[in-house]
Amino acid sequence: MKHAGKLLLSQEIPPEELHEYTPVPSIQKKSFGHQCLRCGNTKSYLFGHMPHAACGKECLYCRQCIQMGRVIECEPLYEADPGCEWPRYQEPLQ
């Protein structure tokens, strides 16, 4: 699968393929604040709040990965189901 190992937004996946992906949380609450699970950001100044029309609440989003697509706490990321096997090499560094 070409997206194995990637966390994607729903708009990055063709609708007919969405069933092949597993939803995962996009932003996780930590004891020290939050962590964006797409880019790994934990810096509080790189998170913002915005009114979100889809859920009707004010939601947290990650400013660090905004150019890849807005990651917002109430919308999951999607990961490809692990069905892909990576090639193994006997002597990979030679």
Instruction: Calculate mean pLDDT across residues 76-92.
Output: 77
Domains in the chain, number = 1
Of 89 and 71, more confident: 71
Distances (CA, A) of 69 to 11, 64, 75: 9, 10, 12
31 within some domain: yes
Q: What is the pTM for the complete model shown? A: 0.76
What is the Cα 40 distance to its own chain's centre?
A: 10
Q: What's the rounded Cα separation, in Å, for the pair 56 and 71?
A: 16
User: Which residue range is the domain that position 17 belongs to?
Assistant: 7-80
Distance of CA 48 to the CA centre of its chain: 17
- Quick one: pLDDT band at residue 20, thresholds 50, 70, 90? confident
Whether pLDDT at 11 is above 70: yes
Q: Is residue 2 part of a domain?
A: no
Q: Is residue 64 part of a domain?
A: yes
Give tens-digit pLDDT for 51-78.
988 888 999 999 998 888 899 999 999 9
